[in-house]
């Protein structure tokens, strides 16, 4: 059930990113945000499946790129560190999404950050805002305690 729920969230993010991912406004990181949110509730193998699915779907060239490394490393990082994030869901979301988008830019667009620092800061803020629906949605996937 959790896998199906995660799949719906993932597909929603994928479609949004495919349609609007190139217009900016933080939408290019929609898939990353959904993976970061899912990383807080899914098991490792379930997360691995979604990460692999996104890499297969988004890869656009026959070599390894910074973007795809980021797409693997950031959700896994959040998954490993999720217990370290403070208990407050709100603070956890902000930290995970903010760090996720920030790290994404460092890994994928290091050159661009220096040239467009305002875009970088803006994307982090937008990433945090866009991440809230995902973090709310994944709460329904948490196993009952």
Partner 1 sequence: MVQKYTLGILTLFILGLATVEPQTAFTLRRGLQGSASETGEGAAQVLVLETQLARDALILEQLASSTLLGTVAEVYSEYPFGLKSELLVNVGKEKGVLVGQPVLFRGIFIGRVTKVFPHFSLVETLFDVRTKYPVRVGKKGVDALLVGGGEPRLTLVSNDAVFEPGEAVYAAIPSLPYGMPIGAVGTMSVARDGLFKEAQMIFPFNPTEVRVLRIRTDWDPALHKTES
Binding flags for partner 1, 76-115, as an x/- string (CB under 8 A) = --------------------------------xx-xx--x
When the beta carbons of 4 and 84 are compared against partner 1, the nearer one is 4
Q: Give the per-residue SS3 of 88-104.
A: CHHHHHHHHHHHHHHHH
By CB under 8 A, tell whether 24 contacts partner 1. Answer: yes
Nearest approach, Cβ of residue 88 and partner 1 (Å): 31
28 C-beta neighbours (distance < 10 Å), count: 20
Residue keyed to tokens 């193998």? 45
Binding flags for partner 1, 39-68, as an x/- string (CB under 8 A) = ------xx-xx--xx-xxxxxxxxx---x-
Cα 79 to Cα 88: distance, rounded to the nearest angstrom: 16
Cα 50 to Cα 118: distance, rounded to the nearest angstrom: 31
Identify the sign of the CA torsion 136, 140, 143, 145. positive
In the list 19, 80, 129, 139, the residue contacting partner 1 (rule: CB under 8 A) is 19
For partner 1, the binding residues (CB under 8 A) are: 3, 15, 17-19, 21-24, 27-29, 45-46, 48-49, 52-53, 55-63, 67, 108-109, 111-112, 115-116, 119
């Amino acid at each position: 059930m959790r896998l199906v729920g995660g799949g719906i969230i993932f597909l929603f993010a994928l479609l949004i990113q495919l349609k609007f991912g190139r217009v900016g406004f933080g939408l290019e990181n929609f898939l990353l945000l959904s993976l970061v949110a899912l990383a807080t509730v899914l098991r490792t193998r379930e997360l691995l499946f979604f990460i692999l699915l996104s890499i297969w779907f988004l890869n656009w060239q026959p070599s390894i790129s910074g973007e795809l490394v980021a797409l693997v490393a950031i959700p896994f990082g959040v998954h490993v560190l999720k217990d370290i994030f403070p208990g407050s869901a709100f603070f956890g979301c902000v930290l995970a999404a903010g760090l996720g988008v920030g790290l994404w830019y460092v890994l994928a667009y290091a050159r661009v950050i220096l040239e467009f620092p305002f875009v970088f800061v803006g994307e982090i803020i937008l990433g945090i805002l866009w991440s809230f629906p995902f973090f709310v949605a994944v709460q329904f996937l948490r196993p009952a305690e």
